[in-house]
Amino acid sequence: SYELTQPPSVSVSPGQTARITCSGDALPKQYANWYQQKPGQAPVLVIYKDSERPSGIPERFSGSSSGTTVSLTISGVQAEDEADYYCQSADSSGLYVVFGGGAKLTVL
């Protein structure tokens, strides 16, 4: 079955830039979305269609795509950004949704 691969963890100091990657063979064909999940809460959409930001999401969140890898970048990381981040896309047929394993962002 199709998989999206994320690093399990990313650490960054406050004010620095965090970059979380997500790799999958179908990503050149399918859009990717990113969700932020804080402990005890439901996930929240932070990036859609690879690089679009929903209203209400801070400008420091951005997304990009290159070949089989998409990336979520958080510029000027703040303590409140500490959370789990999940990428989500679909397989090449578009029939099945898949999530990456999640990356825990730690703000040192």
Tokens of 44: 């929240």
The CA–CA distances, whole Å, from 19 to 26, 50, 75, 93 equal 21, 14, 9, 28
Q: Is residue 2 part of the contact set for other proteins (CB under 8 A)?
A: no
Out of 27, 36, 63, 102, point to the residue binding other proteins (CB under 8 A): 102
Nearest to 75 by CA among 86, 64, 91: 64
Applying CB under 8 A, the span of 11-19, 21-29, 33-41, 67-75 interacting with other proteins comes to 33-41
Nearest to 7 by CA among 92, 41, 18: 18
Out of 12, 26, 44, 57, point to the residue binding other proteins (CB under 8 A): 44
Q: Is residue 99 part of the contact set for other proteins (CB under 8 A)?
A: yes
Which 8-state DSSP code applies to residue 52? B
Q: Is residue 7 part of the contact set for other proteins (CB under 8 A)?
A: no
Out of 11, 15, 38, 52, point to the residue binding other proteins (CB under 8 A): 52
**Nearest-approach distance from CB 98 to other proteins, in angstroms:** 7
